[in-house]
Structures are given as structure tokens and as C-alpha cells.
Structure 1
Amino acid sequence: MRCCYHGWLFGVNGQVLETPGDPPGSALKDRLFHGAYPCKEYKGLIFGYFGPPDSIPEFPIFDSYDYPGDGLVPYCITYPCNWLQVQENVMDPAHAVFLHTRVTFSHFSDTWGELPVMDFVETPTGMIYVTTRRWKDKVWVRSNDIIMPNLAQVGHIWEDGQDAKQFGRVGITRWTTPIDNRTCKVIGWRHFHPEVNPRGIGKEEDCGLEKVDFYGQGAGGSFEERQRLPGDYDAIVTQRPIALHGLEHLTYCDKGVVMLRKLLRRDIRKVAAGEEPPRSTLRSGGAIPTYCHDTVLAIPPIAGVDDLELQEEVGRRVTEIVISGDHHAADDRHDIVRKLLSEYESSVASQAAA
């Protein structure tokens, strides 16, 4: 790499190879060394390692990186605010009811406007939210992943809860990467496979630099338009460049945000004490299991059973199957999870038919 200003030439490891403006025989290049960090190019993204050179960890491969029939399309969006308020959005399922559905229009589907039964559960990689909704004769359970500290995974964006499925997988994998305290970038992949784009709504050509193929994720449109029809970007960046937690009034809807902050503080303290942050030791087919999913079960209301209590129980049991058990270290983990979910669906549906 050559500097355009004075022509210095650098090797990939930071070594200064030439200082052409200096007198012949100058030893300056032998006394200087530029900082350099190892990089890995993987499926269209470049990952850098910035930690101690004597303890470079294995590059983590998660099970969503190589899914059957999947096309990973890189995208990147800049946010003029602190990274944490962008990351917290993924653990705030209540905003999908209002921002994405009731307040303006249905950004994804009308089903998102149903206020779900909510839960938040730790996983071997971080945490998930669990939202459970009734939609006609089905129960839709959805979980987004947080993989600590700054990786997140989101399911099928246009899921409508109408078609039965077990353990439908990831629609977005993204890192919220700080640039400085007041700027960050969301960098990741949109996934394109039949489970997350069954009706062809997703558009690969609309994903890339400062753009992605669903509503409200960037600064596009005039200020007036964004006031009337706000999206995630507008709700996040208008919290100030750095949201002031001391001015917050956290409620039931913010339980996921609170849990995420607690996990982040836990890991910060571990690193500050010289310890390693927690990492999942599970492997399935050589990859680290993840827990983002959409599961839609054909479970109608049951006579004599409070339906909200039924939804809560379905969400709890589905989550147990998705995150717990020895099968998460099996090479055919996906098949086992789907089989267990199908068996559970049949057992509950039979009670409704009785």
C-alpha cells in the first residue's frame, strides 16, 4: 500500500518498505513500523482482529453462515449515533407492534400489530427475545438472536404467521460496529433462501452500501416524510447521538433492553478483570448453533383454556426445544429441532380436538 501524500510504501504487515522522498541510504524505514491488523475476507465481508496478537481466537463460524439454498448479500448502513442504541433495537419487540404496524402502516404484515406475549431468555451465545402471538388458528413464536457483544440475527422480515413451519431460520445477520461514540455502522448480510423470501418480496439488488430492501433503515426521504412515516432509523437516531439512560422510564416493554445491558456489563467486567468473555462451546456440524427462528404451529384455541396462558406455554416450550438439550451438539440439529416441534404441535393440537 503506497501513501498518496509522500509515496511511502507499506507491506501488508505494516513494515515500511520505501520512503522515496528521503535521501539515498536513509535508514528511516528501518526504524519505523506502521500498525497493522490481521484480516479475513469471508462471504463478501472483511473481518479484522484488533486484540492481542498472541491470543487470536478461532474465526467463529455460526450455523447461519452456510444454510441450504441461502444467498448472503452484504449491506452496510451508517447511523449517526452511539452503537448501543442501534443494537438494543433488536431486543425491543414491542416497537414492531407500534412503529412497524399500528402508528403508520404495516411495514411487514398486519400480524406484527398483535401485541405478543414476551419473554427474554439467555442462550449459550447471548440472549433471545421470545414473542408469541395468536393469529387465527395458529400460534407464531419468533426469536431474534443477540450474539454477544455486537452481533444480531433477525428472522423472516415479512413473516405473517399464516403458514405452519418449524424453526424457520435467519433473514438478517448483522454486526453493529462502533466508529466512535457518536457514529456506528450496521454491517451484515441479508439472507435469501425460500424460508425467508417465499413470496419473492425481498430484493437482492436493493441491498448494498447504505441501503437494504426493507422500510425505514436509512436516512432516505425528506425530513417531513420521515416525521410522518418514521422507521427504525428515525426512532433510533432521534434519541440523541448518545441516548441518556438517566432520562429513561423503563417499563415492561424494555425487559429485553435491560437484560442486554446487564449481559454487556457482565462481559465488560470479565474482560477488565483479565478473564475471557463467555463463548459457546457447542458445535453442530462444525458450526456454532444459533437460535433465531420463526415457528408457526397449527394450534387453535382450546375450550376452557385461557388463550394468553396457552400462548405463554407454547412460547416457553418452543424455546426450551430451540435452545436446550443434547441435540444441539448433533450434526442433524435442525432436523431434530423440527421433529420435536412437530411432535409438540401434534400433542397440543390434539387437546384442542378432544
Structure 2
Amino acid sequence: MSERVIPIAIDAGTAYGRPQPSYRVELAEVGPGTPMGELLRRYWHPIGLLADATDTPRRVRVLGEDLILFRDKRGRPGLVYPHCAHRGTSLYYGKVEEQGIRCCYHGWLFDVQGRCVEQPCEPNGGRARDKIRQPWYPVLEQYGLIWAYMGPPEKKPVLPRYESLESLGEGEFLEADDSSIGGGGPRIVDCNWLQHYENLVDPFHVVVLHSTFSGTQFVEQLAQMPQVSWDPVELGVQTTQVRQFPDGKIFRRLSQAAIPTLRVVPSPRVGRFGPVESIGWVLPIDDHHFRIYTVGRVQAAGELTRMRSRPDGQRLWEELTEEEHQRFPGDYEAMTGQGKIARHSEEHLATSDRGIVMLRRFLQKQVETVRQGGDPAGVVFDPHAPPVRFNAGNFIED
């Protein structure tokens, strides 16, 4: 009598043999010469608060480039390549003077536009000093921030103004913040900038991550599942959320992810209705780090900073233990949990991700425009252009 052979079930769907993950290089990488890097270099970016430019040289890293920020004794901000054009030592150790920054090694002095104005070890202070130029970038000051343009000089646009920051109400003034409001964690977030930028068009994570998963991290009204729609607009993608309050009133919340890196998101404090009161700029430090600079209309000093999220509803991110970060995850944990750069090849996008698909297509279109020699969306060369206006805000309807 033959033995009965019982077939062994083969496990399906294990991790064995899975393909090596990959990401959208043309959207994530920001260094010089990369597709996204060249797109982003067609815009002005905030690189610090006004107080960050002083007579003490400051290291900054922007779009994968290491630079030195300083303010000469005449009050002019400067942003230069860190390695001296003479022998290459770092200008981080330089001395800031009336006319610019002086290298510690042999004393060559460069002004805020990189011109070499003194070579003290050379005859007559350097007969050929006019031929030397320390690499530099243009900088401007606006809204309490220092802005840099790092793109082709012949394509330099005007620094935009924004209606929501120009039209101040009674008792309001502008406040600038560098604590990465909206990042959900420390000032410098250790993952790719795109992971936060895409988060702006993902309203459903508010209901899960910020509400049902670990308790209400914002306000109870935002825990209600909204009706969501996305619309392409000139500068990016607009998200509309609609919720009905118990009293029958309709709460309409509009936000926008705008080119190049703007987060136009109204206050999560339901009760403050009207147009958006602050704008944030997601600054890609390099491929694996970003930070957020924010400017907003406030009525009291420190009001903007108090908008930082509190993962457990009470304490700031840095006040929680590692175990508590697991129990009360927020944007920081969700974004960095995707990895230094999200594994786009392993995604399974669903209908709730329509805004992300739209935003990626928008960015891809701008990348192609630049690649073909055109000007991307939002680049303006007219110094008299009106301020940029957004529809974003919290609105209540009967």
C-alpha cells in the first residue's frame, strides 16, 4: 500500500527575491545639474532669518551646496562659495570687515559679490586682483528672511511678494520662524524634501495619523473624514476639504502646494476663519535633509512658533522619549519612516492619492519646461508684478 503524499503549501508573497527599490530621481535629487536641482535653481529660496547673517561667518547648505553666509560691516549680506579662490581654505574662518570677508590664510578680501578687493601679500595690494572672483550668489532680504538665487544669472527672476503677507490687519505684524513648522519634528528633518511637499496634498493622513491613530493631535473637527477634491492651479495643486459641523454649518478648508516649495496651509485652529495667514517654504538642504522657513501675520510675538505641532497634544517633539515617538507618531515619523528618499517603486497608489499624482505630474512638467529652455511656472521678471494671491484658508458657510 503506497503512502499518501501530502503536498507542502508554498508560501506566497514573501520578501525573498524582491526587486531592488528605486525612487523618482528626476523629482527627488536637488544637486547641481540634476533635473529637479536645475528647476529649483530658477527660483529664490529662503536660506536663513535676517539675524543669521552677521559678522560671524555661518555655514549653510542649500540644494546640496555648502556655502558661507555673512553680513559685512556696511550691513550688506553675502553668500559665497566656502573655499577661498587663492589656496582653498575655508572662509568659515574668515574675518568680516567693512568691505567684505577676509580669508584667514593670506588675507585676501572679497566683497559680497565675490570681487577680490585686497591681496595684502602681493605688490601694491595685488595688481591682478580685479581678475579674481570668489564664487557667490545674489541675496535679498524680505519678510524677515534672507533669500538666495542660485540659478543662471541671465534667468534671475524678481523676488515674489505675497498678498497674504502684504495685507496686514489691525494690530498684525509679520513674524518669521525657522523651526520647521509643519515638519512635525526638529528644525532639520532627515529625509528628502519631496516627502513633505507631497504630504501637503494628502489630507487623509490628518484623519488617521493625527487623529484616530494616536489621539487627536490638532482639533477634533479635523478628525472628521472630509470630502476631498483636488484642482490643478497655475502654481501647483489646490486641495479642498469639506466637513459639516454638528450645527449644520459647512467648514471648507483650502490649502495649496505651490511651486517651487511653498506650503500654503491655513491654521489648524478651527475658529480662525479667513484667508491663509502664513506661508512656509520647504528648503531642500540636500537629497536627504530639508527644513521649513515660515512667515505669517501675527498679533503677538511668538504666536507663529506656537503653531508647532505637539505629538501627544501637549509636548513638543523633542520633549518625547523614543517610546513616546512610537506611541504618538506625527509627520516627522511618517515622513522619515519612508526612508531617506521614499521608495517610489514599491508604492501602491490608491484613489486617495490623486493629489500626489497630480503634484508629481505638475513637477515633471516644470522639469521638462526647464530642460527645453523655457521658464517654469511662477517665474516673473517684471519688478512691478502684483503680489501672488492664493485661495487658501479656512472658511465657514451656513
TM class by smaller structure: 0.7 to 0.9
Of 271, 276, 301, 1:170 maps to 276
- Aligned Cα root-mean-square deviation (Å): 2.8
CA deviation after TM superposition for structure 1 residue 68, in Å: 2.6
Which residues in structure 2 correspond to 1:1-354 (within 5 Å)?
1-3=100-102, 5-6=104-105, 7-22=107-122, 26-27=126-127, 29-69=129-169, 70-76=172-178, 77-136=187-246, 137-159=248-270, 168-192=274-298, 204-205=301-302, 213-216=308-311, 219-279=318-378, 286-298=386-398
Tell me the TM-score normalised to structure 2 length: 0.65
CA deviation after TM superposition for structure 1 residue 218, in Å: 5.4
User: Could you say what secondary structure the match of 1:189 adopts?
Assistant: strand
For 1:228 and 1:112, how far apart are their aligned partners in 2? 20
CA deviation after TM superposition for structure 1 residue 112, in Å: 0.8
Structure 1 residues 287 and 274 mapped into 2: Cα distance closer, same or farther (>3 Å)?
same
CA deviation after TM superposition for structure 1 residue 290, in Å: 0.9
Structure 1 residues 291 and 84 mapped into 2: Cα distance closer, same or farther (>3 Å)?
same
Bigger shift: residues 105-114 or 214-223: 214-223
Q: Which amino acid in structure 2 is aligned with residue 214 of structure 1?
A: S
For 2:213 and 2:297, how far apart are their aligned partners in 1? 28
Native 8 Å contact 1:157 1:171 kept in 2: no
For 2:121 and 2:387, how far apart are their aligned partners in 1? 50
Partner of 2:56 in structure 1? none
CA deviation after TM superposition for structure 1 residue 28, in Å: 5.8
CA deviation after TM superposition for structure 1 residue 75, in Å: 1.5
CA deviation after TM superposition for structure 1 residue 30, in Å: 3.5
Q: Which amino acid in structure 2 is aligned with residue 182 of structure 1?
A: H
Structure 1 residues 191 and 97 mapped into 2: Cα distance closer, same or farther (>3 Å)?
farther
More helix by share: 1
Native 8 Å contact 2:120 2:126 kept in 1: no
Aligned length: 282
Structure 1 residues 220 and 38 mapped into 2: Cα distance closer, same or farther (>3 Å)?
farther
For 2:195 and 2:295, how far apart are their aligned partners in 1? 20
Unaligned ranges ≥5, structure 1: 194-202, 299-354
Tell me the TM-score normalised to structure 1 length: 0.72
Native 8 Å contact 2:118 2:125 kept in 1: no
Misfit runs of 4+, over 6 Å:
none
Percent sequence identity over aligned pairs: 29
CA deviation after TM superposition for structure 1 residue 39, in Å: 1.3
Please say which structure displays the higher CA radius of gyration: 2
For 1:215 and 1:252, how far apart are their aligned partners in 2? 29
For 2:308 and 2:301, how far apart are their aligned partners in 1? 7
Native 8 Å contact 1:75 1:212 kept in 2: no
Native 8 Å contact 2:103 2:109 kept in 1: no
User: Could you say what secondary structure the match of 2:292 adopts?
Assistant: strand
User: Could you say what secondary structure the match of 1:233 adopts?
Assistant: helix
